[in-house]
């Protein structure tokens, strides 16, 4: 396939991604997807006593997969870095939104559902909840 | 589109019909198109970002709702859908490459396969939605409590693969029927030694066959203690978890349907755009000198894939 690559009269400013790279990225995405589903069954976080590791692990795999898609399928690695800057800016603002919202959740712990927030207190049993107004 | 045609066009505008009169060069037009598309994609990320924020806040405050509701999501179907989207992303990337290289037939083939991938994704999504619709796993007041376990009777959840398979169709094994006459369990000699008038309470024989006796074995624990129950089978465990329903599970399904529904809408729009590009490539519009629409629609399709890559673990893989 490399012969057709060199023979093609592509516009000079455009980078043609080799098929080898595209298929390699695709294989990596498949493997990572299978890995993240398998990890959810194994429940690694509970095995080591840190359940939050499940979420961190799944999100890490998702970030790696997303980076592969953006860098190779969306050509960010090869083209004008300003496009990548736009993407990173958008992600940064989403990060700000979620980050500040989470700080607010931690700081004020609002009860979004009136009189019901079992995650906040630990009632002895579900029936110990305060009665609805 | 063709305004300004009266102005004296430059030479390369005549050579290249796709070059709009307000651009100096094809390169400038290409760069402007991609720049505009990336800005649009940034607004798409912000749109979904708001929903991810709602997800994060509710999950932080009510993790038990998310753990419970994820029992009803089929992570096998979700995983297959992830693979379908990844494959269609690959064919889209190959299609862009084919357009760059002027391989028209390959471009048409790749766009068609990508379109099929989108249709396959929506088909699987439809199966999932239909299950949830029938089981009442819906938003707000439409949500039907699962504590009575009726979703189990309808084959829901299709969750966790093996759990569902072990539960589907086969009824739980019947407990063995108690022996009609306790005397029958005893060896004939022991039974003959007991006059028929002596009552034997049910379940008061120990051992079986030759060793059956009315006397409890010495090793058995003090009266009142029971042997520990064996751990429940996987299907039974799932059923117990489903019957133990926290309040306000409809919150999760509101978030689930808005996020996956908006994403599915993007898949539909992406398929329409791919159909348009496919039509134009059948007409022979694209080649190494002009493939901007293929490239830009490809970017959109990859973004749809990208968003699903994050939706899938957050919605389906909660534990």
DSSP string, B97-161: HHHHTT-HHHHHHHHHHHHHHHHHHHHHHHHHHHHHHHHT--SGGG----TT-HHHHTT---TTT
Is pLDDT at A133 greater than 80 in this prediction? no
Is pLDDT at A49 greater than 80 in this prediction? no
Which of A17, A45, A94 has its CB closest to that of B97? A17
CATH fold group of domain B11-146+245-316: 1.20.120
DSSP state of B224: T
Taking contacts as CB-CB distances below 8 angstroms, the residues of chain B near A127 are none
Tokens of B85: 């989207």
Q: Which pLDDT tens digit goes with each residue over B9-67?
A: 444 566 677 888 889 888 899 999 999 999 999 999 999 999 999 999 999 888 888 98
Q: What is the mean pLDDT of chain A?
A: 79
Burial category of A131 from C-beta neighbours within 10 Å (exposed 0-12, middle 13-18, buried 19 and up): exposed
Query: For chain A, how are helix, strand and coil distributed in percent, rounded to 5?
Result: 65, 0, 35
Give exposure, B160-191, as e/b (b: 16+ Cβ within 10 Å).
Answer: beebbeebeeeeeeeeeeeeeebbebbeeeeb
User: Cα dihedral sign for B16, B19, B23, B29?
Assistant: negative
Q: Which pLDDT tens digit goes with each residue over A72-95?
A: 999 999 988 999 999 999 999 999
Rg (chain A; Cα; Å): 23
Band of residue B4 on the pLDDT scale cut at 50, 70, 90: very low
Find where tokens 């329903």 sit: B245
Of the candidates B293, B297, B288, B107, the residue with the CA atom closest to the CA atom of residue A12:
B288
Q: Which pLDDT tens digit goes with each residue over B254-286?
A: 999 999 999 999 999 999 999 999 999 999 999
Which of A58, A97, A118 has its CB closest to that of B49? A97
Mean per-residue pLDDT for B308-318? 93
Q: How many contiguous H segments (helices) and E segments (strands) does chain A have?
A: 5, 0
Burial category of A30 from C-beta neighbours within 10 Å (exposed 0-12, middle 13-18, buried 19 and up): middle
Percent of chain A with pLDDT over 90: 49
Rg (chain B; Cα; Å): 33
Band of residue A125 on the pLDDT scale cut at 50, 70, 90: very low
Q: Which pLDDT tens digit goes with each residue over B200-236?
A: 666 666 666 666 777 766 665 555 556 666 667 777 7
Task: Return the residue of A nearest to B32 by Cα.
Answer: A83
Whole-angstrom Cα distance, residue B160 to residue A39? 13
Q: Is residue B317 a contact partner of residue B76, using CB atoms and an 8 Å limit?
A: no
In the prediction, which pLDDT does A113 show? Answer: 56
- Is the link from the previous residue into B300 a cis peptide, with omega within 30 of 0? no
Interface confidence (ipTM) of the complex: 0.78
Percent of chain B with pLDDT over 90: 47
Taking contacts as CB-CB distances below 8 angstroms, the residues of chain B near A69 are 89, 302, 305-306, 309
Is pLDDT at B160 greater than 50 in this prediction? no
Contact A37 B79 (CB under 8 A): yes
Contact A22 B93 (CB under 8 A): yes
DSSP state of B72: G
Phi, psi of B260 (to 5 degrees): -70, -30
Is pLDDT at A8 greater than 60 in this prediction? no
Is pLDDT at A132 greater than 70 in this prediction? no
Whole-angstrom Cα distance, residue B232 to residue B184? 31
Is pLDDT at B316 greater than 50 in this prediction? yes
Alpha helix stretches (DSSP H) within chain B:
11-15, 26-61, 63-69, 75-100, 104-135, 150-153, 162-167, 188-193, 234-243, 250-283, 292-316
In the prediction, which pLDDT does A121 show? Answer: 47
Query: How many Cα atoms occupy the beta-carbon half-sphere of B130 within 13 Å?
Result: 7
Nearest Cα of chain A lies from the Cα of B165 at a distance, in angstroms, of 15
Mean per-residue pLDDT for A95-116? 78
Find where tokens 């496009």 sit: A83
Mean per-residue pLDDT for B124-145? 89
Q: Which residue has the higher pLDDT, A4 or A93?
A: A93
Whole-angstrom Cα distance, residue B35 to residue A88? 14
Mean per-residue pLDDT for B297-302? 97
Which of A40, A66, A112 has its CB closest to that of B309? A66
Contact A26 B31 (CB under 8 A): no
Is pLDDT at B185 greater than 70 in this prediction? no
Q: What is the mean pLDDT of chain B?
A: 81
Q: Which residue has the higher pLDDT, A30 or B22?
A: A30
Q: Is residue B266 a contact partner of residue B304, using CB atoms and an 8 Å limit?
A: yes
């Amino acid at each position: 396939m490399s012969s057709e690559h060199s023979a093609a009269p592509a516009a000079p400013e455009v980078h043609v991604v080799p098929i080898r790279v595209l298929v390699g990225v695709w294989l990596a995405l498949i493997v990572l997807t299978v890995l993240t589903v398998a990890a959810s069954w194994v429940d690694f976080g509970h095995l080591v006593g840190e359940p939050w590791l499940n979420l961190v692990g799944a999100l890490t795999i998702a970030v790696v997969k997303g980076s592969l898609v953006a860098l190779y399928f969306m050509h960010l690695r090869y083209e004008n870095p300003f496009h990548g800057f736009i993407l990173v800016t958008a992600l940064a603002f989403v990060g700000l939104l979620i980050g500040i919202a989470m700080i607010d959740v931690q700081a004020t712990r609002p009860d979004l559902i009136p009189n019901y927030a079992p995650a906040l207190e630990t009632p002895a049993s579900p029936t110990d909840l305060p009665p609805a107004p | 589109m063709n305004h300004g045609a009266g102005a004296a066009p430059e030479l390369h505008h005549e050579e290249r019909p796709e070059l709009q009169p307000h651009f100096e060069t094809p390169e400038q037009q290409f760069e402007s198109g991609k720049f505009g598309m990336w800005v649009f994609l940034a607004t798409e990320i912000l749109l979904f970002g708001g929903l991810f924020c709602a997800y994060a806040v509710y999950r932080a405050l009510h993790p038990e709702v998310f753990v419970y509701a994820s029992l009803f999501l089929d992570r096998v179907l979700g995983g297959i859908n992830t693979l379908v989207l990844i494959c269609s992303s690959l064919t889209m990337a190959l299609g862009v490459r084919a357009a760059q290289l002027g391989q028209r037939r390959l471009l048409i083939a790749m766009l068609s396969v990508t379109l099929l991938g989108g249709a396959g994704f929506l088909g699987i999504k439809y199966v999932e939605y239909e299950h949830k619709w029938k089981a009442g796993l819906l938003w707000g007041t439409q949500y039907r409590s699962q504590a009575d376990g009726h979703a189990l009777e309808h084959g829901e959840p299709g969750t966790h693969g093996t759990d569902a398979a072990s539960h589907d169709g086969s009824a739980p094994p019947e407990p063995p029927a108690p022996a009609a006459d306790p005397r029958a369990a005893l060896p004939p000699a022991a039974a003959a030694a007991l006059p028929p008038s002596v009552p034997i309470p049910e379940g008061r024989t120990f051992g079986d066959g030759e060793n059956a006796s009315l006397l409890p074995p010495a090793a058995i624990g003090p009266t009142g203690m029971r042997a520990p129950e064996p751990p429940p089978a996987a299907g039974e465990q799932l059923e117990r978890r489903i019957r133990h329903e926290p309040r306000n599970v409809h919150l999760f399904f509101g978030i689930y349907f808005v996020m996956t529904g908006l994403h599915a809408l993007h898949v539909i729009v992406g398929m329409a755009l791919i159909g348009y590009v496919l039509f134009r490539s059948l007409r022979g519009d694209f080649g190494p000198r002009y493939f901007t629409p293929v490239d830009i629609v490809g970017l959109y399709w990859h973004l749809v894939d990208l968003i699903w890559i994050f939706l899938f673990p957050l919605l389906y893989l909660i534990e």
